[in-house]
Every structure is written in structure tokens, then in C-alpha cells.
Amino acid sequence: MKKILIKMFFFFMNTLYLLMKLRPVTKQVTLVSRESDEESLDFAMLRQELEKSYGYKVVILSKKLEKSPVGLMPYVLHMLRQMWEFAVSKVVVTDTYCIMISNLKHKSDLHIVQIWHAVSAIKKFGYQTIGKKDGAEEDLAKLMNMHRKYDYVISASEATDRFFSEAFDIDSEKLVRQGLPRIDYIRNVDEQNTQEILREYPNLIEEKRKIILYVPTMRKGRGVPLEKLFREFKEDEYVFIVKLHPLDDCTAKIEKSNVIYDDKFISYDFLNLADCVVSDYSSFSVEASLTEKELYFYLYDYEEYQESTGLNIDFMKESISPYVAEDGKQLAKIIAKEYNLDLMYKFRNKYVDNSLTDVTEKLGEFIDCI
């Protein structure tokens, strides 16, 4: 019955879309995401470039999909808005799976670009996770045409090509060697943002302790055991800035004098202040490698995560492996030692091998030339 209802829904939406497609294509690019209700950093930077340099009308359609009966109806209305904008767009750019992109019969001259919402793909996703505990169901993926209709997929490196090809189930010919606009943001420090952080957290101004930026990924239904980490670091030697995943509602915050939980700024803004970065399976680790900061990995659930989700990048086998720890005590010992930045650069150059300058400009030029 569920299959029949879904097929009837898509038939109805495609019938409506036929009427919407009678309208002529305009000089419009539509940016679509269900990662957040807010315009993302990548979308904001790309929008500004397309508007300023090429005169496009850019429409932002960002809305999280709430999988409850109450949340579904507003999202159906949002789908209708997506269809309306797709019908007149030259290009549609998405950073997630979009139901309407993958299930509508689009005009032949509409080009769809998938930029994904991370520079790399450390953990498996999409078609890579079918059959995994935290992955997609094969029947549902087929029914929902998961990750179909893409003409181009942005990939930051040759090493990442395979991950995206498998995850999106696409031919390698569709992969385009480009970076995300956020690379420009990360590599061009905004001192104004730094000053705003210091006004919010004035204790950081004359901080003599080592500042650790901790950015863990979200575990489905599981919190991050912060106490096991914090207890291994002396409060008079280290300060933690913790950036939990926006969707993490399982982690219990441990209040300590040397711990700051921030939800006012984006993680990249703290890179200028941090002495080192600790992450795990989050692509933030690859993004943080674009700076000169020491990079560490705290993989306390390594075996469990391999089983439930799976990894594309096994840090234990990378050049960065000397900076991997499976418990807090080991991590504290590693951080106390001298750091070899060359190992981090080797890791970075493997997973971001495209140009690291004028990335937003080059992506805008690519979209305009499609």
C-alpha cells in the first residue's frame, strides 16, 4: 500500500509539473537544501558570486524535512515551490538528496548539479550504506529514486571521486574537479569574526592554556561521552571549545570551567583562535586541514562506527595515523607531543587536490558555462 501511495503522489506531482513547465526558462539558478532552514555558507557565497558576476536571479530553497505527520504537510507545500522554481531555472544546485529533483521529469535543458554539504566523504553514505545498520533501505532507495537525475557532481579530489561515485551510484564522467565555496572562507580569515568571538568569550583573549576545538560528528541515537575525554586534560593547561552537531540531541553537556559550548558561530570561525583541532568521522577534519592547525582524531567508537555506518577514509591507514587516538588518555599523550605538520599536509593534499584559491569564482564560472 505504501508503494502505491508514493507512486500515486509522484504521478500527481509530475502532472502538475507538466503545467508549470509551460513557462519559459529564465536566467535563474535555484539552490536547494534540506540540511537546514537557513541559507548555508556555501549557498550564500555562491549566490553572491552568481548575482554579482553573472547577473543571475538566485532563489534559495532551504528547508529541513521533518519526518513527522505534522512536519510533512508544510514540506509538501515546499515541494510545490521547488517545482515552480525548477520549471523556469537554467540550473538547479543541491547539497543533499532532494525528493523533487530525483522524481520529477525535468525539461531537457535543465542542468542539475550536486555539490554535497561536505568537502569530502569520510563516512559512507547514500548507496554505500544500503544494508548497514544506520544506512538506507534498498527498497525505499529504489522507490524514492535516491540521488537520481544529477548531471554533475562536484568532487574535491581524485581520492574522493570513488566515494561520490559509489554513494550517488553515478558514472565517473559526471564528476567535476571543483571545491566548495567554504574553502575560500576557511583560507581567508575574517578578523571581524574573530573579534566578535572574543567579545562573546572574553576569557579567550589572554588565554595561556592550549585551545582545543572539538568538532565531533553526530551518532544516530547515541551521544558523545564528553566526560571520558575531558577528565584526561588538566583544566589549567587546556581549554575546549565544543561544537556539537546541530542535530545532536543525545549528548549530555558536562559543565567545566575550561569548556565552552558554542552555538552562536560556525565552526570555521574558531580555526583562527584554536591551537589544534580534534574531530572524528566529520568532514570538518578535512576542511580543518586547509589551515596550519594541528589535527587530531578521537575515535573512541571506531569498531562500532565501522559496523553501523562504515568509513571511506580509514585514518588508521593514512599519513595522519600517528595522531589518531581511541581513548582520551591516549589523545592527551599525543597532543602533548611535538606535531609533524608534513603528515597533515600529505593527508590534506590527498583529499583536496583541486586549486585552493578563488574556489567560489571557479564554481560560479562552471555553473555559468553549463
Residues 109 and 7 both lie in one domain: yes
pLDDT value at position 30? Answer: 99
| Distance, CA of 332 to CA of 285 (rounded, Å) | 18
How far is CA 54 from its chain centroid? 26
| Residue 111 contacts residue 93 (beta carbons within 8 Å) | no
- CA-wise closest residue to 151 among 184, 107, 185, 193: 107
Q: What is the CATH number of the domain that holds 317?
A: 3.40.50.12580
Q: What cell numbers appear for 238 in the block?
A: 587546556
| Distance, CA of 145 to CA of 104 (rounded, Å) | 10
| Distance, CA of 27 to CA of 164 (rounded, Å) | 29
| Residue 287 contacts residue 268 (beta carbons within 8 Å) | yes
| Residue 356 contacts residue 187 (beta carbons within 8 Å) | yes
- CA-wise closest residue to 363 among 26, 55, 28, 47: 47
pLDDT value at position 163? Answer: 97
Residues 161 and 52 both lie in one domain: yes
Q: What cell numbers appear for 239 in the block?
A: 581549554
Residues 129 and 274 both lie in one domain: no
| Residue 284 contacts residue 255 (beta carbons within 8 Å) | no
- What φ, ψ does residue 238 adopt, rounded to 5°? -135, 145
For 45, the domain range is: 2-179+356-369
pLDDT value at position 292? Answer: 87
Let me know if residue 82 belongs to a domain. yes
Handedness of CA 126, 285, 289, 348 (dihedral sign): negative
How far is CA 312 from its chain centroid? 15
Let me know if residue 156 belongs to a domain. yes
In sequence order, the β-bridge partners of residue 248 are none
Residues 266 and 147 both lie in one domain: no
Question: Number of structural domains, the chain?
Answer: 2
Residues 232 and 322 both lie in one domain: yes
Q: What is the CATH number of the domain that holds 81?
A: 3.40.50.11820
Let me know if residue 117 belongs to a domain. yes
Residues 216 and 175 both lie in one domain: no
Per-residue confidence in pLDDT tens, the chain, 370 aa: 789 999 999 999 999 999 999 999 999 999 999 999 999 999 999 999 999 999 999 999 999 988 777 778 889 999 999 999 999 999 999 999 999 999 999 999 999 999 999 999 999 999 999 988 888 889 999 999 999 999 999 999 999 999 999 999 999 999 999 999 999 999 998 999 999 999 999 989 888 899 999 999 989 889 999 999 999 999 999 999 999 988 888 999 999 999 999 999 999 999 999 999 999 999 999 999 999 899 999 999 999 999 889 999 999 999 999 999 999 999 999 999 999 999 999 999 999 998 889 999 999 999 999 9
Q: What cell numbers appear for 69 in the block?
A: 505527520
Is the model's pTM score more than 0.85? Answer: yes
Q: What cell numbers appear for 172 in the block?
A: 565517473
| Distance, CA of 294 to CA of 296 (rounded, Å) | 7
Residues 267 and 136 both lie in one domain: no
Let me know if residue 305 belongs to a domain. yes
Residues 173 and 211 both lie in one domain: no
pLDDT value at position 355? Answer: 81
Instruction: State the number of CA atoms in the 13 A half-sphere of 329 facing the CB.
Output: 0
Q: Provide CB contacts within 8 A for 229, sequence distance 6+.
A: 214, 298, 300, 328, 331
Let me know if residue 86 belongs to a domain. yes
Residues 364 and 342 both lie in one domain: no
Q: Provide CB contacts within 8 A for 289, sequence distance 6+.
A: 295, 344, 345, 347, 348, 351, 352
Let me know if residue 199 belongs to a domain. no
Residues 100 and 219 both lie in one domain: no
Residues 241 and 319 both lie in one domain: yes
